[in-house]
Structure 1
C-alpha cells in the first residue's frame, strides 16, 4: 500500500528558482518536497533519472532511497542538481511517513526536544533570490517595495529596522552590508573607507536597541581570506553572533580554519555544502563555530539529521537555513525542533507575509520571535491546488497520477 505511483513537479515563471515535488502512493497519500536554484535542470533529473527508478518502490524505505540518490556517479558530496533533486524527494518521503503515522515529521524523527525554537529574521526583500537574481547590490537608495523590504532598510537605517524587529518580538537579525564592496576587487581586498562604511549598520543597530538583538553578518562567500579576516576582526567590536560563509570556497577547510584562528568573531558554515562528508571534514578541521545546513540542498532530512548528529558530536550549534521557499522552512523547523544542538531557525518576514502564503496551504506559527512546534501530520502543509493551473506553471508527471 506504500508503493510510489507517481512523481509530479511544478514550477512557476514568477519564482523561477523554485521547484516543488509531489510524490503519490497507492494508499492515496501525497508527499511534498521542494528545492531551489536551477529548477529546470532539477526537473530533468527528477523525470529522466529519478522517477524511472523510484516509481514502484516502497515509500517507507527512506534511508535506502536516500542512499541511492545521494551516491550518484556524479554530483555527490555537493549541492549539485542531483543532490537538490534527491533532497526534494527525501523531504516528500518524510512528509509521507508523518502522514502515514498521523504525526508531525519531528515526531517521526524521534520526537522534539523543545516546544519551540527562536527564529532570526534574514533582512531580505520581497523578491530576494526567488525571481532569478539575488539583490546583493542594494545600496539603500532604491524604493521600498513595502514595509518589510528589509534589505533596503538595513542599508538605509539599520537602527530603525532593528527597532521594528524588536517590537515584533525578534531577538536576532541577519544583514550583509559588505556585499556591495566586493566587486571592486573581486573580493580580494576591502579598503578602510569601505570597511568603516560596512560597519555603520552594526553601529546604528547597537545605538538604537543596544544588546536587545543579536546580529548575524552574512558574507555570501564573496571574499578572499585577507579581506574576510579584516572584516571579521572589525566585527568583533559589535558582538556579532556569527560571520556566515566568509570565504569564496566554503569547502576550503584549511583557509577557513586559518581565518577562524585569527578572529574572535564566530564563523558559521555552510548552507552551500551537500552531504555528510563535507560537514564532517569542516568540523574535523576546526573550521566553524556554528553549523548551517539547507535541507533542500544537502540531501534532505535523511542527510540533515546525520549532519545534525555530527554537529552535536563536535559540540557545535545547528542553525537550519531558509531564504528560499516555504517547504525548506517547514523541513528546517522540524529538524530544529528535533535536534538537541539547534539554536535558531532562519525566517524572512518579507516572504512569510506575502508570497510564501500564495504557494502552500499553511505556514509555521511564529509567536514573539519563536516558531512553535507543528501539530499537523507530516510536513504541515501541502502545495496550493491552484498552483498547477496557473498560467505560468510548468507541470510534469511521471507515472500514474491521481489527478
Structure 2
C-alpha cells in the first residue's frame, strides 16, 4: 500500500493501480496458503517451495489481467509480489526447525521402531508415566492403538491438559516419511478407504483439459522425437505395452520406444524388468528415459480416461501379477487411475525388486490416503525437478 501511494498520490483513483494492488495482495495470500499446505507434506524443506508456491497464483493473475484486458502497473505488481516473497523467506527463517524439537516416546514396539528408522529425530524414551511432567519442552509420541496401562493413559491426559502435544506414532511416521505402513488398509481423514469422489471427478476433468492442451502444444516436439527414433534405430517410434490400471482393468500404454526392437511376451516376468544400464536401451532411448520424455505419448491414455496425469504408476501385467502374489493389499493401488508421474516416482524413482516395490507401495498408499489438489500440485512441481536432475531413471 505504501509503495502504491508513493508511486501514485491517489492509487485507488486509477483502476490500473487498484487492480495491481488487489492482484498482488491476492497472489500473496494464495501463495501463503499453498506454501502452508506444501509444508504439511513430508519431504518439503523450509525454503525450497516458497517460489514454486507463487507459480500458479502469478499465472492466474496474469491470465485474469490479460484475459479481461485490465490495466495494471508493473512496478506495483513487482514490488507487491516481491515483498511478499521476501516476507515469506523471513518468516520461514525465523521459524523453529521441527527436526530439532525433542520428541518423547512412550515405550512400545512401534515407537521404538520409529526411533530406529528415523535416526535424525531428537528422541528420548520415557521410563515411567511420571516422566510426562517433564515433557513441556517437546512433544510426546505414543502408540494409541496398543493397550496402555491406566497410569500411562492418565499421564497422557494430564500432559494434554497442560498443553503438551501428544501424537499417535502412526500419524507421526506417515507425516515424516510420506509412506503408509502396509499392515492393514489405512483409512483417510474421512474414515473411508475410497478417496474423495468429488475431487476425483474434478481431477478427471483437469486431466482431460490439460492433456488435450499439452498434446496440441507438444505435437511438433513429439513428432521430432518420433522422427529421431525412427532414424536412429530399427522399428516403430511408439511402443505399446499391456498394463494393469484403474480398478484392475488392462489397457495398452503408449510410450516412445526406447529399446531395440524385439518381440515381447507380456507374461514373461524377467523381460518386463528394466535393469540398471540395461543393454537393450538405445542411446536416444537412454536420454528420453532420463528426461522422462518417453512418457509423453501417455497423454493420449490420459485423454482416453485410462490414466491420470498424477497417480500410482501402472505396472506391466506380469509384474503386477507377481507383486499381487507376494505383497499384501497390492491390488488396492488400483482404486485410483494410474498416473504418468506420482508420489512414489518423485520420492523413489524406478524400482522392480520386491523389497523396493514394497516401499513404493507404501508411497502409493500414502498418495491414495491423502490425494488432494495440494498434493498433486506438489508432485507436479517435484516432477519438473526430477526431469531436470534425471533422478531415478533407468
TM-score between the two structures when normalised by the length of structure 2? 0.23
Q: Which of the pair has more CA radius of gyration?
A: 2
Higher helix share: 2
Higher relative contact order (CA 8 A, sep 6+): 1
